[in-house]
Each structure stands twice: as C-alpha cells, then as structure tokens.
C-alpha cells in the first residue's frame, strides 16, 4: 500500500521541560534542554571524508542547582544523512570526557548520538516514535531522549544562536554496558545464524514500519549482540529515517528492490517456508497492538496529522495480519525465485 507524500506545516512541539534530578538519561519522558557552544558553522561543513572532532561546551540548562557546563568533543556522523548533502543539519556524535568525570545525567557515558532534523522537525519526531515503538517489543532496543537543543555558534565574528528539536540515541557502547551483552563486529553473518525468535521479531517490525534499509550480513543499520561466543546473535535495529512510517521527503527505496516508494511494504527477511514458524511472532504483534496504537494516540508531541498518518500506516499492517493469504504472500516473498527478496544493495560490500 502506498501513501502519497504529505506536506504540512512543521508541528509545534509542546515542551515539557523539568529540572533534572537523579533519574537516568533515558529514564524520563521529559524533554531535555541542552546547549552546544562552539564553532557550529565549521562543524556543519564537515560533510565528506573522515569527520574530525571539534571542541565544544555542553550546557545542561534548567537545572535545579543552576546550569551545568563541561567540555566535550563533537563531530558529524552517518553516511546518507551526512555525505549526500541533503540535510539541513547532519547527525552528530557527542564524545564525553573520561568516564566518571561527566556531571549529573551524563555520568558514565562515553559517546552518544544526537539525531538532528534533516528535513524538518516532523520527520525527526516520526523517527523518534519508531524507536519508542521498538521498545514495546524489545527492551534491549536502543533508547532515545527528546531534546530541546540550542546551538550557540562562536566561530564567526558575530555570535549566532538557534534552537531546534533533536533526540539523543544510545551508541553501541552504551547498549553493551546496559544489556551486559557483547557486540559482534564481524560481517557476513547469515540471517539464519542469528537467534530465530529475535530475528523474526525484528524483521516483522521492519515490515510493520515499512523499512527495507537494513542488512544482517553487512550490519547495515543493525547491531548484533550476544551473551557469549556460543550464543546466536540478537539483531537490534536502528536508523529508521528511510522507513515508510517516517516517509521522509528524501527517502527512496534502493533501486535493486524495484519498489515505487518507501511506504510500500516489502519483507526483507530470509526465506522461511513454514508459516507456522511465524505464528508466535505474529501473535506477539497482535498482543502488542493496543500498545502501539496507544503510543501514537497518546502523543502530546506529534501533530494531529502525523498521528493520523501513523495510525493509518499501522492499520494497514494489522489488517494484513488478519488476512492469512496476504500476509503469507508477503512473508514468503524471499522464497520466490527471481524476485528481489535477497538482493545485495549496492554499496553494502564496501
């Protein structure tokens, strides 16, 4: 099912900013207010080659005890959103001082990703909610924290200040520390070599949100975690900006997939002949149906039109689950010879 691109005004975020107390960084739903002070102009020009860290000052604002400030290093990151030159603001990586020296809420963190509004706030918020949706399925999924970000550019003759919306995202090291699992950093692990239950749950989630921008073999937008060398890896997805659920204006399916739009659903999992193997996973999604809808219907941040879009996209997925023949056709797509179910996307080998 395809949806046309929707063009509306950028939604107004209703900030719910509270003083930071003893809660962990990702334990609160309140918007975190931070300020980055440094050479912002030079930072955002670093869009090719190996990115370089620049010195910045991070200020935690709206503190009960006053603003906290400490030095960090910041660089641009990512591939598509950074190198293609399509984003108003490229994503960033925050590199903190030595562990133990970070004040307050950032204590113990080494690095954190900062997702920026590439082409408008609305698409960033949609991606933020996809991360929240995956947390419903798997508590080991990457956690996010919405931020009100003030950028204070001190690199020019005249100081410039602007405020925008972003969200903090756990970096792989933080996920390893939190879960107690180890990171698998080897390519060419086949999908059938992963934990089947975790794999099916992840791949059906990708189908639900309409995302084809991932690969187990090349760890494309996937972390692989395991308890030990003797255990099968558990895939944890990230980077959902090319998902149909986000429907970013720059997002297009890979040409190799022969799809017309990212809102079209295509199952990218490996071939599983027996539909009975999918049954427990599909039941899991049915069991979480109300939680998915509540996440969006209860949002005080998304614009009403974005809520409606998200609900309609969920509706299409859950209608598929109630139609055995249609869902079987989708899930068995990788088993059909001559189709694009298991093609390798150009560039993943590099």
Provide the pLDDT for residue 159: 81
Which secondary-structure segment (H or E) carries 111?
Answer: strand 111-115
Provide the pLDDT for residue 7: 31
- Same domain for 265 and 147: no
In the β-sheet with 182-184, what is the strand arrangement from edge to edge? 182-184, 222-226, 234-237
- Same domain for 107 and 222: no
Provide the pLDDT for residue 200: 98
Instruction: Tell me the per-residue pLDDT of 197-236, one tens digit each, with 9 for 90 and over.
Output: 999 999 999 999 999 999 999 999 999 999 999 999 999 9
Provide the pLDDT for residue 350: 47
- Same domain for 238 and 147: no
Provide the pLDDT for residue 238: 97
- Same domain for 170 and 38: yes
In this structure, of 6-15, 281-290, 321-330, the range with the lowest mean pLDDT score is 6-15
Of 176, 194, 221, which marks where a domain is finished?
Answer: 176
Name the band, by pLDDT with cuts 50, 70 and 90, for residue 103.
low
The β-bridge partners of 318 are none
- Same domain for 313 and 198: yes
Distance CA 195, CA 156 (A): 52
Provide the pLDDT for residue 219: 93
CA distances from 344 to 66, 188, 350 (A): 52, 12, 12
- Same domain for 188 and 49: no
Name the band, by pLDDT with cuts 50, 70 and 90, for residue 16.
very low
Question: For the chain, what is the domain count?
Answer: 2
Of 176, 207, 222, which marks where a domain is finished?
Answer: 176
Provide the pLDDT for residue 22: 38
What integer is the mean pLDDT of 78-102? 80
Provide the pLDDT for residue 101: 63
Distance CA 19, CA 168 (A): 17
The β-bridge partners of 32 are 147
Question: Rounded to the nearest 10 degrees, how much is the dihedral formed by the CA atoms of 266, 302, 11, 221?
Answer: -40
With respect to residue 14, please indicate whether it lies within any of the assigned structural domains. Answer: no
With respect to residue 12, please indicate whether it lies within any of the assigned structural domains. Answer: no
**Domain with 38 in it:** 32-176
Q: Which residues of 263-287 are buried (b: 16+ CB within 10 A; e: fewer)?
A: bebbbbbbebeeeeebeebbeebee
Provide the pLDDT for residue 63: 61
Distance CA 58, CA 105 (A): 12
- Same domain for 198 and 70: no
In the chain, where does DSSP find H-type helix? 40-44, 80-83, 121-137, 172-179, 196-209, 279-287, 289-297, 304-321, 324-331
Whole-prediction pTM: 0.90
With respect to residue 2, please indicate whether it lies within any of the assigned structural domains. Answer: no
In this structure, of 215-219, 228-232, 241-245, 340-344, the range with the lowest mean pLDDT score is 340-344
- Same domain for 278 and 327: yes
Distance CA 262, CA 243 (A): 6
Of 137, 155, 176, which marks where a domain is finished?
Answer: 176
Distance CA 246, CA 231 (A): 33
In this structure, of 149-158, 231-240, 305-314, 327-336, the range with the lowest mean pLDDT score is 149-158
Proportion of the chain above pLDDT 70, given as a percent: 87
Residue 14 reports pLDDT greater than 60: no
CB 66 within 8 A of CB 88: no
How many degrees, rounded to 5, is the angle at CA 292 between CA 299 and CA 321? 145
CB 107 within 8 A of CB 93: no
Nearest to 161 by CA among 57, 35, 17: 35
Q: What are phi and psi of 7, to 5 degrees?
A: -120, 115
Provide the pLDDT for residue 18: 38
- Same domain for 101 and 79: yes
Mean pLDDT of the chain: 88
The β-bridge partners of 108 are none
With respect to residue 245, please indicate whether it lies within any of the assigned structural domains. Answer: yes
Name the band, by pLDDT with cuts 50, 70 and 90, for residue 178.
very high
- Same domain for 107 and 71: yes
Provide the pLDDT for residue 317: 99
What integer is the mean pLDDT of 131-137? 98
Provide the pLDDT for residue 155: 84
Provide the pLDDT for residue 23: 57
In this structure, of 46-60, 94-108, 197-211, the range with the lowest mean pLDDT score is 94-108
- Same domain for 110 and 204: no
């Amino acid at each position: 099912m395809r949806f046309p691109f929707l063009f509306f005004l950028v939604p107004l975020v209703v900030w719910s900013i509270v003083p930071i107390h003893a809660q962990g960084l990702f334990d609160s739903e309140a918007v975190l207010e931070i300020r980055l002070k440094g050479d912002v102009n030079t930072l955002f020009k670093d869009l090719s080659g190996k990115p370089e860290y620049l010195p910045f000052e991070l200020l935690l604002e709206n503190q009960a005890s006053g603003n906290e400030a400490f030095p960090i290093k910041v660089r641009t990151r990512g591939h598509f959103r950074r190198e293609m030159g399509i984003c108003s603001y490229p994503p960033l990586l925050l590199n903190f001082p030595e562990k133990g020296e970070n004040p307050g809420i950032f204590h113990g963190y080494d690095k954190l990703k900062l997702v920026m509004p590439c082409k408008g706030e609305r698409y960033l918020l949609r991606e933020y909610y996809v991360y929240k949706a995956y947390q419903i399925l798997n508590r080991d999924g990457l956690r996010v924290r919405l931020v009100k970000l003030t950028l204070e550019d001190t690199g020019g003759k005249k100081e410039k200040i602007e405020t925008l919306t972003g969200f903090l995202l756990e970096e792989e090291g933080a996920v390893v520390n939190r879960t107690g699992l180890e990171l698998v950093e080897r390519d060419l692990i086949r999908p059938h070599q992963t934990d089947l239950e975790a794999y099916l749950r992840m791949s059906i989630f990708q189908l639900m949100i309409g995302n084809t921008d991932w690969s187990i073999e090349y760890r494309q937008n996937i972390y692989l975690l395991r308890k030990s060398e003797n255990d099968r890896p558990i895939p944890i997805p990230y980077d959902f900006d090319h998902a149909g659920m986000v429907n970013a204006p720059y997002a297009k399916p890979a040409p190799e997939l022969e799809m017309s739009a990212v809102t079209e659903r295509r199952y990218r999992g490996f071939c599983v002949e027996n539909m009975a193997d999918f049954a427990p996973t599909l039941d899991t999604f049915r069991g979480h149906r109300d939680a998915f809808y509540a996440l969006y219907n209860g949002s005080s941040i998304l614009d009403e039109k974005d809520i409606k879009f998200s609900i309609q996209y969920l509706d299409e997925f859950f209608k598929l689950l109630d139609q055995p023949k249609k869902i079987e056709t989708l899930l068995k797509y990788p088993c059909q010879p001559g189709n694009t179910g298991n093609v390798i996307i150009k560039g993943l080998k590099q």
